[in-house]
Chains A and B, each alone.
Chain A
Amino acid sequence: MIPLVFGVTTATFALIHLIPGDPVELMMSNARQLTQEEIHRIREKLGLNDPLPIQYVRYVTNLLKGDMGKSVRSRSAVSYEIMQRLPDTVILTVTSICLVLVLALPIGILSALKRGTWIDTLAMTFALFGVSIPAFWFGIMLMLIFGLHLDWLPTVGQGKTPIEFARSLILPSVTLSLILLGLVTRVARSSMLEVLSLDYVRTARAKGLGAKWVNFRHALPNALIPILTVVSGQFASLLGGAVLIEKVFGWPGIGRLAVDSIFARDYLVVTNTVLVFAVMVILVNLANDILYCYIDPRIRFQ
């Protein structure tokens, strides 16, 4: 994990230096024209004339202190901008993951238990559409139907009061959940099918246990492990999708911040948001590894 964090910071550092154009000019893009001497003085002050390794060490030490530099657009600290909006992205993705689990698990398990029936076919068709529909367009369609046509839910922005907030969360989170819904349904089905064909399940049946008991007490816990792997492994694609969905629904998370900052040429915000996204992915994978030990005693005893 430590080398990965090192690699990720190096990558964002490289990204900052790959961006074309002089950082000082980018920073001062809105201000008056600067003379050569002034630019040189600012470069010196910001340490941009130092060799790259020194700049890199400074970048990492500043990061550890929580200093990500200043936003060109708002003139406030980048870390402040990101922390301000991070909770909104977290709420959106966590709600979506809960929705995915609540919907995909029962559908996938049911279609495994009813393998070959119309329920199975219906569930798998649903899953195929789930992976073939562009999620952001699905969001636009939900907006059209539930926002404009039926006028049940707000389409854009975020509500202020708790109830309004929850109402404005519904459409974005349902949209975002579509990204993983089809995949997790498929995995839930195949994982359950695999466990059901194992010897110990047959033994449980052979000794006369009821179908419900066998399916849910014996088979399900083992079937959940691969599903957990996929959900946490796909957390990254959920976060990526959040960037688009936040933009569609005007949800004030860090994804929208990143996209808006690209067009404002506010590159420090862009690169640091990318870094925050990567750190989130790494943390979720770590949490997943720890969670495994609790769920699966075999891993704990190894």
Chain B
Amino acid sequence: MAEHIVDLAADAAFIELTEPKSFFYKASQQLFGKKQAILGFVVLIVLVLAAIFAEQIAPYDPYKTNYANVKQPPSAEHFIGTDELGRDGFSRLIYGARISLMVGVSVSAISTTVGVALGAIAGYFGGVIDMIIMRAVDLFMAFPFLVLAIALVAVFGPSLFNMMLALILLYWIWFARLVRGMVLTLRETEFIVGAKAAGASDISIIFRHILPNVFPVVVVQGSFSVADAILIAAGLSYLGLGAQPPTAEWGSMLSNAKELMRILPVLSIAPGVAIMITVLAINFIGDALRDALDPTLRN
């Protein structure tokens, strides 16, 4: 997460300010003209479909225990075997896509919205709001992200919802900081000064001039943060601080598979591969979005 933001603060000043009509056309052309991006999109669409139609695709009920059929090795009936309660690993894997994508997208979407709003306000108006937000940013940066997430979950109590809440509370700060920095530079540019001189209100300047210029960078960062949130959520669930058993979630499946590592290693391998493929696909899309939306890298 941090690495993307480091180089983006610098990019902020170079955002394309001209040719608004052909911009997204060009961007989308660049986006779909790349093999990696297409691969990322295809994989992500498959994952999203699997998540939506999990009931139809999964061969078994992911929560149905079957004591006559426990710890089965991979076979034609059970692609990656069954766990210690006889639940089908493959079905649980498909349902796991649901939770990971839901967590990644909702954490990213909510924290982006909050962060952009507060960052824009802080950067544009300055003053007390700006000071409070920046002090909060400094403070949060002093803690390791995962440690703070763990501490917040400890306060709220371990559950999937509380984990998402903790992640949102930590993520918006990144976006607020990013957007604030960009708005600070934008505020001084001639077209904003011009709009102000022409009598545009603050609200209209923020919505019509500032946010559209912040948008491309936020989209790129937002897509990376989906991948990041999925990784962190899996880690927290592995620790037992996120999704609680018996929920079919990749991180908690990995923690559950630990007992069976010796006899059924495939149960430890598959959820990790699923996380990796998801994160890779999203990172491919993020990289492609960056190339497409960032004019400094174009041509």
Contacts and interface: CB of A to CB of B under 8 A. Distances in A.
Interface of A: 4, 7-8, 11, 15, 18-20, 128-129, 131-138, 140-141, 143-144, 148, 183, 186-187, 230, 233-234, 236-241, 243-244, 247-248, 255, 258-259, 262-263, 267, 270-271, 273-274, 277-278, 281-282
Contact of A274 (B147, B227, B280, B283): B147
A233 B144 CA distance: 11
Nearest to A239: B144
A239 B141 CA distance: 13
Interface stretch (B72-80, B118-126, B152-160, B175-183): B152-160
28 contacts: A4-B142, A7-B142, A11-B139, A134-B234, A134-B272, A136-B254, A140-B258, A140-B272, A141-B269, A144-B269, A186-B3, A236-B143, A237-B2, A237-B145, A239-B144, A239-B147, A243-B144, A258-B150, A270-B150, A270-B154, A273-B147, A277-B143, A277-B144, A278-B142, A278-B143, A278-B144, A281-B143, A281-B144
A271 B151 contact: yes
B272 A240 contact: no
Given A141-B272, A270-B150, A274-B150, 9 more contacts: A20-B155, A128-B283, A132-B280, A134-B279, A135-B235, A230-B6, A236-B144, A274-B147, A278-B143
A4 B139 contact: yes
Interface in B1-45: 2-3, 6
B89 to A, nearest CB: 15
A136 B235 contact: yes
A238 B144 CA distance: 8
A244 B154 contact: no
Contacts of B254: 136-137, 140
A241 B272 contact: no
A28 B29 CA distance: 65
Interface in B224-251: 227, 231, 234-235, 238-241
B132 to A, nearest CB: 12
Nearest to A261: B154
Contacts of B239: 243-244, 247, 259
Interface stretch (B48-56, B61-69, B210-218, B260-268): B260-268
B275 interface: yes
Contacts of B2: 233-234, 237
Contacts of B46: none
- What are the 8 A-B residue pairs with the smallest beta carbon separation, nearest first? A240-B146, A137-B272, A240-B144, A236-B144, A239-B144, A132-B279, A132-B280, A262-B154
A19 B227 contact: no
B261 A137 contact: no
A128 B231 contact: no
Nearest to B7: A190
Contacts of A244: 146, 235, 238-239
